[in-house]
Amino acid sequence: MSSAVRVRVPATSANLGPGFDAFGLAVELYDELTVVPRDSGLSVEVTGEGADAVPRDESHLVVRAIRAGLKSLGASVGGFDLHCVNRIPHGRGLGSSAAAIVGGIAAAYGLTGTPLDHVKVLELANELEGHPDNVAAAVYGGFTIAWVDGGTGRAVRLEPAEGLSVTGYVPSTPLSTEVARGLLPASVSHADASANAGKAALLVAALTTRPELLLTATEDRLHQEYRAPAMPESLALIRKLRANGQAAIVSGAGPTVLVLGDSGLEAPDGWNLLRCGIDPVGVQVWSSADSTTSE
């Protein structure tokens, strides 16, 4: 058992317009965890985003993910000290829960000295999260396409186009995924489904080799406009950015607006501006037991 483990896990943006519940992109904004095992008891220290709102007991999402990861590996620890440095905003559509889950599972691998198995991490993370799009990008980095096969989360990773970056506009007010999903209709027209399928296919090419097609490829007809009542300012900003030729989308369930590329527009009052590169490796683990890195 390692005496201490450090984990770094990236923020992620899911959907990317037409790739609803399938596409994910990892960006260079990171949460960091440090876990030190002990004989018994639990202490949780949190700084940064969400520090005033998250629990400090066994219900903490990272703690639950560590326990689930240890169980999947056939291991356990009596207790541990957990220190979280949170930089990913909570409730903004940037994968904070996915980062907590993937980070906790990865920490379990580090604690037991087990080489990180990305396939198994994704499978368990999908079980805990309930859908694989964000967790896939957090596990693998880069651009991922995720799906569920017989209840099991799967993903492939593709290399984003060289030099691709993102610009994020993060509002001060959060939005829960449950609220955002509750606005989606039970069915959509064949025309809308067909249009999204074509744009999602085009987006794979645009993100990997043809970035000049990103504006067209990010058009969506399945979820963004339906969610407008919950985040009207976000949709108004997207329309403004797209009218200026920017490939603007809702990040995940929102309300963050993400531009695939560098945007010259400053953030509106009360919003934060993020400019990030694409994370290339996904979750990383450093163990004090052997001073090696798992990627």
Residue 91 marked as a ligand binder: yes
Paired strand residues for 257: 169, 250
Q: Could you tell me the CA-to-CA distances from 102 to 49, 52, 61, 129, 269 in Å, in that order?
A: 17, 22, 10, 9, 33
What proportions of the chain, in percent to the nearest 5, are helix, strand and coil?
A: 35, 30, 40
**CB of 258 within 8 A of CB of 251?**
yes
Residue 95 marked as a ligand binder: yes
Q: Could you tell me the CA-to-CA distances from 209 to 73, 163, 199, 225 in Å, in that order?
A: 39, 11, 15, 28
Which residue do the tokens 């090696």 mark? 292
Containing 156, the helix (H) or strand (E) segment is: strand 152-158
**CB of 88 within 8 A of CB of 11?**
yes
**CB of 10 within 8 A of CB of 134?**
no
Residue 64 marked as a ligand binder: no
Residue 291 marked as a ligand binder: no
Residue 90 marked as a ligand binder: yes
Residue 97 marked as a ligand binder: yes
Q: How far apart are CA 211 and CA 246, in angstroms?
A: 11
Residue 217 marked as a ligand binder: no
Amino acid at 166: V
Residue 96 marked as a ligand binder: yes
Residue 89 marked as a ligand binder: yes
Q: Which residues are annotated as part of the binding site for ATP?
A: 89-99
Q: Which residues are annotated as part of the binding site?
A: 89-99
